[in-house]
């Protein structure tokens, strides 16, 4: 009786406080939630409006790209943080019933802020899954059921709690929300050994556009195919992933070796392109490239840092490197033998003495104003091409490039096994970033620079299409027009993210039926063969 009275009293209070149209949206949503929700799981403290003291903290909590949080960026009418699966289900039903545009956020890493900003639909709300973060690991079955709001770092730690010889091949950045991470593919330092995170998913639970909760059996194989790499919320809201654990050795070796231009960086990087995709599958060597102060401290140079994880001990690693990549000059003193979980921390940039439990905090170590792009490379870039790249990097204040090697298991999957198509023949992927700290002041200068760099790279990267990674969304490639984007228009950029897999979505009608409601921009970077409205 007390709970019932409290429920009614709070609802009545919420219905009285509104004097504005925006509050009316909240009122109607709360009324709808109240009608449909499980009364044993109250949701009232899970709604944050701009008048709520913690609204900005919640909005900013997981957002990676501060460029989308400046005062001029559109803000949601309110943020709803569900406490149980059925809250998400009811939120979908109510937003559909009321015609409220909804954005869904699990980790907030999306590069164009599509999970917390809408440039097309106004007003809009955010469904933030941050409180749905259960991780249930079954070592005997070598599986785990992971709730969408958990970070990949939390998943790694929960596996580590149960076993020192199991892992999961997913992201290098440990604050990634696993809900959206796997929907784009989920690559990481073990992808050359085991493929993507999405290649190692066994089942899922999602909410479709009608508010139904579906698993692999009830959604069918077409939809199960689509959600593993087809783009965040393009086909529904992910509630849970069932993942397959993979074996890892008790001893893992990591290293970082840096070469500047003065130390032959151009020659070594040219050789890396020929070696890294074909070297032992236990070895992942990425390259982080950025300007730095030269030895004389009055000029800048380019440094290339070879950041690696090897699934084995230092002795075998040194033998592999001696045979395949002696140009790097790796020495025993450069190497650090450790456990798999500590190698996760190392690759994520944590100091060597960081305790693994930090992964439970789910905090991002990367928050910046930035613009990013991506490319896939199928032929080594010439040394003259690299030198032209260095000239352009030195023109920008704070640029960053990360080159991630492919090959190994990544070449053994068919391009059509899941929506992620960047497989056999891909040598490596490039991520470009321009970072700045002055907010929206001079932002156009940095965005213009990265667009020019992208144009410069055209002759050196994949063609027909020029491929891009959907989890590094780039709205320069194309954006939906409200209610008016055709399949032909969308194909111009959908083909870049998904190649021929884009066309398979034409038979999966739920794609844009869902996406046009949740995120019109996403509709066209997933399977945008038509735009339907609820």
| C-beta separation of 234 from 523 below 8 A | yes
Q: How far apart are CA 284 and CA 309, in angstroms?
A: 5
- Which residue out of 472, 487, 497, 513 is catalytically annotated? 472
A 10 A CB-CB count for 333 gives 7
| 472 belongs to the catalytic site | yes
Q: What is the phi/psi pair of residue 302, to 5°? A: -110, 135
Decide the pairing of beta strands 124-128 and 101-105.
Answer: parallel
Q: How far apart are CA 227 and CA 526, in angstroms?
A: 10
Lookup: tokens for 212: 């139904």
Q: Which residue has the tokens 């559909």?
A: 96
Q: What is the DSSP string of 427-455?
A: -EEEEEEEEESSTTTTHHHHHHHHHHHHH
Q: How far apart are CA 298 and CA 282, in angstroms?
A: 41
Helix axes 21-36, 2-16, angle to 10 degrees: 160
Q: How far apart are CA 419 and CA 225, in angstroms?
A: 7
| C-beta separation of 157 from 173 below 8 A | no
| Per-residue H/E/C for 353-408 | CCCHHHHHHCCCCCCEEEEEEEEEECCCCCHHHHHHHHHHHCCCCCEEEEEEECCH
Angle at Cα 61 formed by Cα 361 and Cα 116, nearest 5°? 135
Q: Which residue has the tokens 């200068």?
A: 445
Beta strands in 4-142 (DSSP E): 47-48, 79-80, 101-105, 124-128, 135-138
Active-site annotation, residues: 472
């Amino acid at each position: 009786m007390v709970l019932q009275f409290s429920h009614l009293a709070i609802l009545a209070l919420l219905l009285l406080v509104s004097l504005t149209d925006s509050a009316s949206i909240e009122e109607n949503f709360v009324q709808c939630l109240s009608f449909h929700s499980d009364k044993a799981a109250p949701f009232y403290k899970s709604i944050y409006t701009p008048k709520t003291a913690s609204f900005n903290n919640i909005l900013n909590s997981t957002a990676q790209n501060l460029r989308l949080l400046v005062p001029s960026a559109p803000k949601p009418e309110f943020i709803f943080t569900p406490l149980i699966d059925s809250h998400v289900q009811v939120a979908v039903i109510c937003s559909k019933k009321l015609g409220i545009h909804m954005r869904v956020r699990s980790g907030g890493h999306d590069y164009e802020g599509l999970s917390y900003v809408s440039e097309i639909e106004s007003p809009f709300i955010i469904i933030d899954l941050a409180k749905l973060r259960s991780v249930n690991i079954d070592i005997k079955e070598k599986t785990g059921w992971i709730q969408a709001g958990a970070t990949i770092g939390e998943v790694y730690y929960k596996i580590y709690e149960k076993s020192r010889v199991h892992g999961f091949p997913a992201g290098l950045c440990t604050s990634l929300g696993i809900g959206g991470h796997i929907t784009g593919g989920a690559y990481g330092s073990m992808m050359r050994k085991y493929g993507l995170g999405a290649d190692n998913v066994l089942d899922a639970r999602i909410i479709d556009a009608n508010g139904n909760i579906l698993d692999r059996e009830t959604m069918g194989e077409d939809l199960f195919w689509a959600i593993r790499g087809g783009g965040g919320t393009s086909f529904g809201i992910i509630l849970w992933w069932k993942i397959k654990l993979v074996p890892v050795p008790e001893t893992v070796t990591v290293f970082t070796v840096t070469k500047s231009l003065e130390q032959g960086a151009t020659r070594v990087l040219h050789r890396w392109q020929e070696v890294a995709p074909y070297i032992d599958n236990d070895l992942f060597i990425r390259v982080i490239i950025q300007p730095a102060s030269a030895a004389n401290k009055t000029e800048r140079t380019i440094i290339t840092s070879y950041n690696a994880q090897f699934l084995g001990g230092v002795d075998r690693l040194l033998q592999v490197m001696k045979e395949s990549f002696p140009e790097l000059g790796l020495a025993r003193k450069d190497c650090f033998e450790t456990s798999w979980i500590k190698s996760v921390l190392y690759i994520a940039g944590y100091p060597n003495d960081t305790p693994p439990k930090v992964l439970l905090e789910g905090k991002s170590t990367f928050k910046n104003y930035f613009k990013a792009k991506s490319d896939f490379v199928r032929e080594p870039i010439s040394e003259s091409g690299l030198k032209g790249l260095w000239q352009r990097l030195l023109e920008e204040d704070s640029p960053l490039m990360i080159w991630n090697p492919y090959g190994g298991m990544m070449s053994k999957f068919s391009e059509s096994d899941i929506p992620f198509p960047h497989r056999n023949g891909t040598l490596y992927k490039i991520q470009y970033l321009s970072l700045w700290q002055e907010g929206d002041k001079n932002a156009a200068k940095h965005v213009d620079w990265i667009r020019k760099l992208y144009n410069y790279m055209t002759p050196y990267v994949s063609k027909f299409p020029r491929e891009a990674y959907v989890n590094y969304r780039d709205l320069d490639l194309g954006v939906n027009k409200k209610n008016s984007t055709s399949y032909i228009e969308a194909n111009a950029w959908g083909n870049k993210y998904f190649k021929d897999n884009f066309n398979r979505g034409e038979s999966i009608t739920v794609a844009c039926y869902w996406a046009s409601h949740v995120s019109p921009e996403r509709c066209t970077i997933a399977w945008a063969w038509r735009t339907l409205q609820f």
